[in-house]
Chains A and B, each alone.
Chain A
């Protein structure tokens, strides 16, 4: 198996496993925010803003994995 095939498998592994953690985290965050909005609808604005920033923070982890996968596929330093 050459370096190209290993890179493709590595990219698939990076995206698939890298998506699990952020997905669970975002699910928990959104669930808690929904609960909080249901309890206190008047604070929905503040909650939504904080939620967006928090989700962006969590999502960055998945984006890191995606960038690694894209690097492996399109800008691999070990493939000439």
Chain B
């Protein structure tokens, strides 16, 4: 649950000048640091015949690539750094819900908003890089120029819904765990916390798949999802 106060509010840890740094941001920082160190160490001494850990990481990377390729029907490697990082970060951030102590950063709307903004900007970046500026902008006039305002509106609303979907799911589940904990004591919240693992994985998967679908639509390989 929150460190006191409302579930919607973020608690400020300290301020640097005019910028307030909340506990959510600090959690995100050490999560990023742990992930960076772990994956840097696991790629430092790569061998041709991998040990167990390297085999596991290789399996993770190739299966992520396979997922991307099955969605966008083309080479997955150019998009793997973004999509794979999103998935790994989201899984580890969402799973913090079942670890005592830290609260998942994705339960606050700022983290999810930042991630959705990254997806929004990179969609256009990949679209322009793959198709060229003119052809990409012409895609907004499909199927007829009358649809231009609706196409632009759908770009904004789908980014917004990406943000709200992630935050809403994680936050509502934290709230449910809190309410059950308040009603009944020791072992009753355990199955609900087990459900939290499932929700964490499914939401990370859905965020990633939707990001892939948006990129695939922008590079013109698939129809808009």
**Chain A interface residues toward B at CB < 8 A:** 49, 52-53, 56, 59-60, 63-64, 66-67, 70-71, 74-75
Q: How many residues of B contact A (CB 8 A)?
A: 22
Minimum distance in angstroms from B170 CB to a CB of chain A: 10
* Chain A residue, CB-CB nearest to B165: A60
**Chain B interface residues toward A at CB < 8 A:** 6-9, 70, 161, 164-165, 167-169, 171-172, 175, 202-203, 205-206, 209-210, 213, 225
Contacts of B169 in A (CB 8 A): 59, 63
The answer to whether A70 and B209 have CB atoms under 8 Å apart is: no
Main secondary structure of the interface of A (DSSP, over half): helix
* Chain B residue, CB-CB nearest to A75: B8
* Chain A residue, CB-CB nearest to B161: A60
Main secondary structure of the interface of B (DSSP, over half): helix
The answer to whether B206 and A52 have CB atoms under 8 Å apart is: yes
Contacts of A67 in B (CB 8 A): 164, 167-168
Q: Offer 5 A-B interface pairs, CB within 8 angstroms, sorted by A.
A: A52-B205, A56-B165, A70-B8, A70-B175, A74-B7
Contacts of B171 in A (CB 8 A): 70
Give 8 new A-B contacts, CB below 8 A, not counting A63-B165, A75-B6: A52-B209, A53-B209, A53-B210, A64-B168, A70-B8, A71-B8, A74-B6, A75-B8
Contacts of A53 in B (CB 8 A): 206, 209-210, 213, 225
The answer to whether A75 and B168 have CB atoms under 8 Å apart is: no
* Chain A residue, CB-CB nearest to B212: A53
Minimum distance in angstroms from A19 CB to a CB of chain B: 12
Minimum distance in angstroms from B205 CB to a CB of chain A: 7
Residue from the list A56, A71, A74, A75 in contact with B210, Cβ < 8 A: A56
Residue from the list B70, B168, B205 in contact with A63, Cβ < 8 A: B168
Contacts of A63 in B (CB 8 A): 164-165, 168-169, 172
Minimum distance in angstroms from A24 CB to a CB of chain B: 19
Minimum distance in angstroms from B93 CB to a CB of chain A: 17
In the bound complex, how far is the Cα of B107 from the Cα of A74, in angstroms? 15
Minimum distance in angstroms from A47 CB to a CB of chain B: 13
Contacts of B206 in A (CB 8 A): 52-53, 56
The answer to whether B164 and A60 have CB atoms under 8 Å apart is: yes
In the bound complex, how far is the Cα of B7 from the Cα of A75, in angstroms? 9
Interface centre among A56, A63, A67, A70 (most CB of B within 10 A): A56
